[in-house]
Chains A and B, each alone.
Chain A
């Protein structure tokens, strides 16, 4: 079956939009990490620096899955693998 370019690009744009829904997961995860970090600082304000760096490291690792979604969206938008 033949599709024209506009149709393929439109579908790619919709797919890119769907791919960045992956951002929900890391958002929730980083929020939970930040919440627990805040609770930990409240319980032990002396360990603030340690908690901060551990939290940021964990959050940056958790961000990876969201970035995969972003990467797929970028590939669909700019590299256009399905341009036919």
Chain B
């Protein structure tokens, strides 16, 4: 007998499932639903990028002056992304435009892939934590590259004078907390949406017809878009303050 905490725990399902396992240097490694969803998201993005690139190339070669609807939409998207990056990063923007745009599109499509019937890949901590680790690596690379070691030491002892490094461990811990809080925020937001939808569909069953669409708009579209924006915005803010070109 199991003491399932939910009365009908069998019908509520939002966990990551293993699809098949294989042996990787003696370890048992699983291909899970997250891998499948992430591959679907990547496939959609790749096809989108190839089509957009072909369209732009054709437009440049033929000298067509009036863009079609698809090209218009892509241009609108790219303009929005580049304006956001320029607004947040100042003169460091051209270097990070590609990375932030890629991150934005990937996280956005991952978050709203719940609408396509996939389990959102960002509702797996193994997806969001590496994204935050990339941010962490860029932050500290920029910090070391763009500031003198003495200034860095002064900054890490910051509220107290540099010859009294009592505050150093606290500053280091707050540096380490950055990737954890960044990834947990995205993960917990998407997971809470996934769990809510799974509970509604699993527990209400035939009552949940049609009207959960409104909840999908909130949990998948609104929450997903906001969290994507927040993740990219915070990444840009941290990087530009580490590079010292925030103003």
Using CB atoms and an 8 Å cutoff, list the residues of chain A in contact with chain B.
Answer: 5-6, 9, 12-13, 53, 56-57, 60-61, 63-64, 67-68, 70-71, 74, 77-78
Contacts and interface: CB of A to CB of B under 8 A. Distances in A.
A56 B226 contact: yes
A64 B184 CA distance: 8
Contacts of A77: 5
Contacts of A68: 184, 188
A61 B230 contact: yes
B96 interface: no
Given A6-B3, A61-B185, 9 more contacts: A9-B3, A12-B5, A63-B185, A64-B185, A67-B184, A67-B188, A67-B189, A68-B184, A70-B188
Contacts of A6: 3
Nearest to B15: A78
A60 B226 CA distance: 8
Q: Can you list the 10 inter-chain pairs with the closest CB atoms, starting with the nearest?
A: A67-B188, A60-B230, A9-B3, A64-B185, A71-B188, A77-B5, A60-B226, A6-B3, A5-B3, A70-B192
Contacts of A60: 185, 226-227, 229-230
B5 A13 contact: yes
B190 to A, nearest CB: 10
Contacts of B15: 78
Given A57-B233, A68-B184, A63 B189 contact: yes
28 contacts: A5-B3, A9-B3, A12-B5, A56-B226, A56-B229, A57-B229, A57-B230, A57-B233, A60-B185, A60-B227, A60-B230, A61-B234, A63-B185, A64-B184, A64-B185, A64-B188, A67-B185, A67-B188, A67-B189, A67-B192, A68-B184, A70-B188, A71-B184, A71-B188, A71-B191, A74-B191, A77-B5, A78-B15
B82 to A, nearest CB: 16
Contacts of A12: 5
A82 B223 CA distance: 32
A63 B188 CA distance: 10
B116 to A, nearest CB: 24
B32 interface: no
A24 B234 CA distance: 24
A63 B193 CA distance: 14
A12 B4 CA distance: 12
Contacts of B241: none
A71 to B, nearest CB: 5
With most chain B CB atoms within 10 A of its CB, the pick from A6, A9, A63, A77 is: A63
